[in-house]
Chain A
Amino acid sequence: MTWRNYELENAVLKTNEKVTLWQSERGIVEIDEDALALPILLDGERKGYVFHGNGKLVLDTIVETDKGAIGRPVEKEINAPFLMIGQMKEIEQKLVQADREDFASKNYENKEVFRAKAEDLCHRFFGKRRMHGCNCFDNDCGFVFAFPNDAEELDVLVAKEDKIVYKTKSTVFVSNEDKVVLKTPSEVILSNDRRSFIIKR
């Protein structure tokens, strides 16, 4: 674990086709064509992006128990800037330079306004311009997404293959193969291979 500094690149890019940022049996994060992408550097290396475009987040935050299924899937349209940390070489091939029209199409006067918005998002996510323990992203070990929600907070998704942690203001979902924990405002469900423990609040 180390402390690492982050900074944003100068160049702003955009997607030239639809990109699947992460996909597993539990969920998908996709971003459409023409989404703005501002690379994030961690200690000088490109390790993530702030995206702004249309996309979708789908997560099966459902727990199977022998008494029946609990929870509902998450299906959200993305149209606000969000952050992704994690290496993905395929993304690089689907990015081209963004121009003035691309900023205008997202209601930004110019590049700097978008950068300021991205900077604000990063500041909320990283805190005081430093990130703790992101060595794991050196070896393509997973992804972290941060989506701003209506309550001006960040919904965070940490995903590595089928292992997921998804945290919103009211819900926490943790899945690791057959082991699942789901916390909702009314109950906490712990499940291991369909055997479950439910705690009502």
Chain B
Amino acid sequence: MRSKVYIFRFVFDAYRIELVEYKIQVGENQMPDELKEEVKKLREEIANLKEQLEEVTEKKRRERHGIYIDVGNRVQDYIEDVMEGVAEGIHGELEKSIFVGPGGVRIIRRQEPISIENEAEVSFQKVAECMSALGHEHRLRILRELMKGGKYINDLEEKLPEITASTLSSHLKVLEEAGLVVQEKVRGRYLITIPGRTAYKMATRVASFLERGKQL
């Protein structure tokens, strides 16, 4: 392919030089008719060669950027349209998405600014339930244990000996009703939910912020 480009360039340049030299020698207006015809043909030939050269150069350029398959304009346009649609779809979904995982790429969901109107839509009863569920030291300890992974009730009893078995069950019930914890019905393990994890982090951050405020 490269040699083809060189040949085109060589021929193109050769014709151009020949024509320029002739113009210098005799002047274009003084050319005999048959020479004028020859020059016209040469010009057409040059234009044709130039077109071919552009085509080859374009192909070369595309090859450098990836595989070039000539599938005709209509098919190519169609594929481009489809790919554009797919790309827009993925982009749209990813914009709304989050990616979580240890060491993985994280795409943080773009948060809508919270307006006072939106805040008013939140049920204060639900907020109070959530805060109430968090409002016990034992329940915070349970959440902290569950942050490390799902646990059976026996594991929790072992990890939290200061809480009696019956109290532990009632605390887990409160956390479950608030949606901060979920229990597997077959295996029986308790798992912290995404809201549970968020609520625990929020509560501990607020407490730590207040603690720092006191020290200042």
Contacts and interface: CB of A to CB of B under 8 A. Distances in A.
A199 B194 contact: no
Contacts of A24: 186
B99 interface: yes
A27 interface: yes
Given A69-B182, A73-B183, A64 B100 contact: no
A24 B185 CA distance: 12
Contact of B184 (A65, A67, A73, A195): A73
Contacts of A54: none
A194 B102 CA distance: 9
Contacts of A199: 93, 96-97
A163 to B, nearest CB: 15
B191 interface: yes
Interface residue tally on B, bucketed by range: 20 to 34
A200 B96 contact: yes
Contact of B187 (A25, A66, A67, A195): A25
B102 A66 contact: yes
Contacts of A73: 182-186
A104 B191 CA distance: 44
A62 B109 CA distance: 22
Contact of B99 (A25, A62, A72, A197): A197
Contacts of B151: none
B138 interface: no
A62 B93 contact: no
Contacts of B198: 68
B192 to A, nearest CB: 5
A198 B97 contact: yes
Interface residue tally on A, bucketed by range: 20 to 34
A60 interface: yes
A195 B182 contact: no
Interface string B170-206: 0000000000001111110001111111100000000
Contacts of A58: 185-186
B101 A196 contact: yes
A69 B193 contact: yes
Contacts of B101: 66, 194-197
A186 B102 CA distance: 24
B104 interface: yes
Contacts of A194: 101
A158 interface: no
Interface in A39-77: 58-60, 62, 64-73, 75
B100 A65 contact: yes
A69 B150 CA distance: 9
A50 B194 CA distance: 40
B14 interface: no
Contact of A62 (B102, B191, B196): B191
B20 interface: no
B186 to A, nearest CB: 5
B176 to A, nearest CB: 10
B109 A67 contact: no
A19 interface: no
Given A198-B100, A200-B96, A68 B185 contact: no
30 contacts: A25-B186, A25-B187, A26-B186, A27-B186, A58-B186, A59-B185, A60-B184, A60-B186, A62-B182, A62-B184, A62-B191, A64-B150, A66-B101, A66-B102, A67-B197, A68-B193, A68-B196, A68-B198, A71-B182, A73-B184, A73-B185, A75-B185, A194-B101, A195-B100, A195-B102, A197-B97, A198-B98, A199-B96, A199-B97, A200-B96
Given A68-B193, A68-B198, A197-B99, 14 more contacts: A24-B186, A58-B185, A59-B186, A62-B191, A65-B100, A69-B194, A72-B182, A73-B186, A75-B185, A195-B101, A198-B99, A198-B100, A199-B93, A200-B109
